[in-house]
Structures are given as structure tokens and as C-alpha cells.
């Protein structure tokens, strides 16, 4: 039987559309959400009644249950939820605008929780389902200028690990996906976003961050379509992996960072073991 997908973050050329097309290639049906659904009208026509584009502003809590109901009414249920939507703002830990910081957590973290909690009751009733949470290499490796973006993704990593064990007895599988640099439109806005930082001491660092993303825009090594197909292949493995890092440079960065973290923890083992009451 074909599966019914619910995918957030549908923008032309983005990972959401790549996930949708990969699912459609396997014969599945797809609900794809977007803040600007009109941009997907021509794309959706090709697939007829196998695709439903739903308008959704994820940070509006009232819209989330309506979008889930629309999907369930169209296809009878949701078998795979892909929490793909998100955005990265840059800024220093000290000086980043607090409203931008909170907006990023609302979209990248709290909206993911709202949608997951809205979809899980149907999956539990059926005793099956998949939750695919799109994190980032930044969810495992933090970097100057992107500390708060990383924090939103580190938070996704944490709740996804807990969720995986909580819902496994209900027949529901959970996968964390950590893409590196992929050729989507995610970097396109940096060219038109000058550094907005209240503390001048961080301007040079942030300008270097911005310039690096501008330079990489359009030449990122990752192919969203190949990445989406890799996720579907991982879901088919027995047993499936708990997480999947996407892209060569991302894989290398994550492995290197985790090895350095493990070495650092082991270097402090002597002091770590002095902190208990004496036996």
C-alpha cells in the first residue's frame, strides 16, 4: 500500500519539494505545506490528486490542527511526517536581536513539536508511522555566529532521541536527518541581509560568516533529490538508523567533532570520577 506523507517547508527548489518528489517516485501520496502555496500550483498539477498543497504558517498554532485535518480528510491519515521547515538567522550569542532569536525557536523547534503532537494520535491509533525530523549538521556541530541556530537544532536532536524511545512501543519509527550544505535556496537571502548586530566587536566575525554563505550560494555540494532518496532508503533498512547525516563534508565534520568531543571527555575522566561520594 502507498504511504501518505505530510511534509512541511514546501518551496520551489527546496528540500520539501525534494522529499515530496522522492515519495511520489515510490508511488506514495503527499501533502506538502507552504506559506506561499501559489508558488507550488504548477508543480502540483503534474501529480493530480496524489498531491495536496496546504497553506500553513507553522508558527500559528491554530493553523496546525487545521492542516492536519485537511490531510486526514484528503487521504484518510498520515503515515509519514517530515518536519522539514526551518530557517537560520545569524548573530553573536551576546548581541543577536532577541526577537529574531525567539522567532527562530518558534519556527525551528516549537512548531516542530506542535505538528508532531498533532499527528501522533492518528499514528498511535493505527499502530504505525514515521516521524522524520530534519535537523542539521549544525545540530551536532556548533559554529561561531550560528550558536542560536545550532541551539534550535540541538534541541531537535534531544527531543527526537527521547521521542524515538517513547513511541517505539506504539509501532512508530523516528529518524533524525542532518543535512550539510545542500543546493537549495536557503543561502539566497544572505546577500541581501547585511550584518545587523548591536555590538560592533562582533561585526567582523559576522561579516565573514555572511560572506562565506554568499560565496557558497548556488555551488553547495549537496543534491536535495539525492538526499531525499537517501532518507527513503534509510527508512527501508532493517533496522533503520537512528540518524542520517547527509553529504560528504557534513559527514566528515560530524565525525571529527564527535571524536574530538569524546577525546575531550576522556581527557577529563580522572576529575569526572572524583565527583562521587567516596565508596
Question: Which pLDDT tens digit goes with each residue over 144-203?
Answer: 999 999 999 999 999 999 999 999 999 999 999 999 988 887 777 776 777 888 899 999
Say what the pLDDT of residue 146 is: 93
Query: 274 in a domain, yes or no?
Result: no
Model confidence pLDDT, tens digit, residues 34-72: 999 999 999 999 999 999 999 999 999 899 999 999 999
Burial zone of 169 (CB within 10 Å; 0-12 exposed, 13-18 middle, 19+ buried):
exposed
Residue 73, pLDDT > 70, answer yes
The per-residue pLDDT of the chain, averaged, comes to 94
Say what the pLDDT of residue 221 is: 85
- Secondary structure tally for the chain: helices H, strands E: 10, 7
CATH of the domain at 194: 3.40.50.720
Query: 255 in a domain, yes or no?
Result: no
Q: What are φ and ψ of residue 224, in 5° steps?
A: -55, -40
Query: 50 in a domain, yes or no?
Result: yes
Phi-psi region of 61 (alpha: psi -120 to 50; beta: other; left: phi over 0): alpha
Q: What are φ and ψ of residue 92, in 5° steps?
A: -80, 160
Query: 253 in a domain, yes or no?
Result: no
Residue 216, pLDDT > 90, answer no
For the entire predicted model, the pTM comes to 0.94
Q: Which residues are catalytic?
A: 135, 149, 153
Model confidence pLDDT, tens digit, residues 107-158: 999 999 999 999 999 999 999 999 999 999 999 999 999 999 999 999 999 9
Three-state DSSP at 52 gives: strand
Residue in 4, 102, 88 with CA at minimum distance from that of residue 49: 4
- Give the domain range for residue 209: 4-248
Query: 277 in a domain, yes or no?
Result: no
Domain count, the chain: 1
Query: 23 in a domain, yes or no?
Result: yes
Say what the pLDDT of residue 127 is: 98
Residue pair 21/27 in contact by the 8 Å Cβ criterion: no
Query: 48 in a domain, yes or no?
Result: yes
Amino acid at each position: 500500500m502507498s504511504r501518505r506523507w505530510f511534509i512541511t517547508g514546501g518551496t520551489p527548489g527546496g528540500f520539501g519539494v525534494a522529499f515530496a518528489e522522492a515519495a511520489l517516485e515510490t508511488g506514495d501520496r503527499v501533502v506538502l505545506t507552504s506559506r506561499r502555496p501559489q508558488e507550488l500550483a504548477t508543480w502540483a498539477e503534474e501529480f493530480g490528486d496524489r498531491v495536496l498543497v496546504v497553506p500553513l504558517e507553522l508558527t500559528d498554532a491554530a493553523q496546525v490542527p487545521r492542516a492536519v485535518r485537511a490531510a486526514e480528510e484528503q487521504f484518510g491519515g498520515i503515515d509519514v511526517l517530515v518536519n522539514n521547515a526551518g530557517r537560520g538567522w545569524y548573530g553573536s550569542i551576546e548581541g543577536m536581536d532577541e526577537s529574531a532569536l525567539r522567532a527562530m525557536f518558534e519556527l525551528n523547534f516549537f512548531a516542530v513539536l506542535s505538528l508532531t503532537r498533532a499527528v501522533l494520535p492518528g499514528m498511535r491509533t493505527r499502530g504505525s508511522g514515521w516521524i522524520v525530523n530534519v535537523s542539521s549538521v549544525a545540530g551536532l556541530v556548533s559554529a561561531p555566529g550560528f550558536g542560536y541556530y545550532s541551539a534550535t537544532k540541538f534541541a531537535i536532536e534531544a527531543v527526537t532521541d527521547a521521542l524515538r524511545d517513547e513511541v517505539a512501543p506504539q509501532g512508530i519509527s523516528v529518524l533524525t536527518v542532518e543535512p550539510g550544505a545542500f543546493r537549495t535556496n536557503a543561502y539566497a537571502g544572505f546577500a541581501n541581509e547585511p550584518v545587523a548586530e548591536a555590538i560592533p566587536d562582533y561585526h567582523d566575525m559576522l561579516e565573514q560568516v555572511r560572506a562565506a554563505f554568499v560565496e557558497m550560494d548556488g555551488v553547495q555540494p549537496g543534491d536535495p533529490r539525492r538526499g531525499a532518496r537517501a532518507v527513503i532508503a534509510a527508512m527501508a533498512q532493517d533496522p533503520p538508523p537512528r540518524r542520517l547525516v547527509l553529504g560528504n563534508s557534513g559527514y566528515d565534520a560530524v565525525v571529527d567533532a564527535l571524536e574530538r568531543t569524546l577525546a575531550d571527555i576522556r581527557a577529563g575522566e580522572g576529575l569526572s570520577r572524583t565527583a562521587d561520594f567516596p565508596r
